[in-house]
Amino acid sequence: SSLEGTEKGHLNLAASETASHFITLLLAQFRKIHPGITFNLQIHNRKGLLNCLKSNQVDLVIMGQTPKDMDLISEPFMNNPLVIIGPGEQNSKLSGIKKLSELMEEQFVVREPGSGTRIAMERFFSAHKIQLNTSMEMPNNGAIKQAVSAGLGLGIVSLHTLQQELALDQIQVLNVKEMPIMRIWYIVHQKQKVISPAMEVFKQFVIKQTQPIWTKKYPFLLKHL
């Protein structure tokens, strides 16, 4: 467009801990086209993101499930597959797990209560009448991946957090029927917010470009869908 590259502005963004794994890649691509727009980025868990939205501290939020009880505009832009992970070494017992019911014999390392991943996981397994044994709670995906890699249990994380570990064979994704749990990423703002040109151009970029940028950068992740 004739405006391309001419926008100036500053955006306050907030993203979930899981989204932080792709947002920096997005920002790098966006800044190549729009160098005049600068950013402040906060990373929060779900509770923190809801506070950001309530207090109107940020322009745009990137998150999973959006709350029904707030006046928000939320637009979906990419699927967020949650997968079951185990340690990377070829463990035939793990790669033999094919059914959800077989997971009941395993120990799980999970996110803290209130995290979007934890909520989605609990909803999914209770709908399938599966009771997981959770041996440990962790505050972020990095800690879960390290615990799983060390053999402390299986984990459930977004595929979008695994690009490094899968490339290095530190983690394996279990090929279990009914998985992945398919969630959706949204870009969200308060309904009454005044939309600046910088906000609009970034929002459109996220909606149109996230999936192609991600797929091009990490094509090897697609086989786990």
How many beta carbons lie within 10 A of that of residue 142, not counting itself? 14
Give the C-alpha distances (Å, rounded to integers) separating 170 from 50, 63, 86, 144: 33, 27, 9, 13
CATH 3.40.190.10 residue ranges of the chain are: 9-79+184-224, 80-182
Mean of pLDDT values over 41-47: 94
Average pLDDT, the chain: 91
pLDDT band at residue 1 using 50, 70 and 90 as cut-offs: very low
Mean of pLDDT values over 23-40: 95
Q: What integer pLDDT is reported at residue 26 of this predicted model?
A: 96
The enclosing H or E element of 167 equals helix 163-167
Q: In this structure, what token pair is assigned to residue 104?
A: 């009941």
**The CATH number of the domain covering residues in 80-182:** 3.40.190.10
**The CATH number of the domain covering residues in 9-79+184-224:** 3.40.190.10
Mean of pLDDT values over 69-90: 92
pLDDT band at residue 7 using 50, 70 and 90 as cut-offs: confident
Q: What integer pLDDT is reported at residue 5 of this predicted model?
A: 56
| Model confidence pLDDT, tens digit, residues 128-184 | 999 899 999 998 999 999 999 999 999 999 999 999 999 888 999 999 999 999 999
How many beta carbons lie within 10 A of that of residue 44, not counting itself? 18
Region of 192 on the Ramachandran plot (φ > 0 left; ψ -120 to 50 alpha; else beta)? alpha
Q: What integer pLDDT is reported at residue 2 of this predicted model?
A: 46
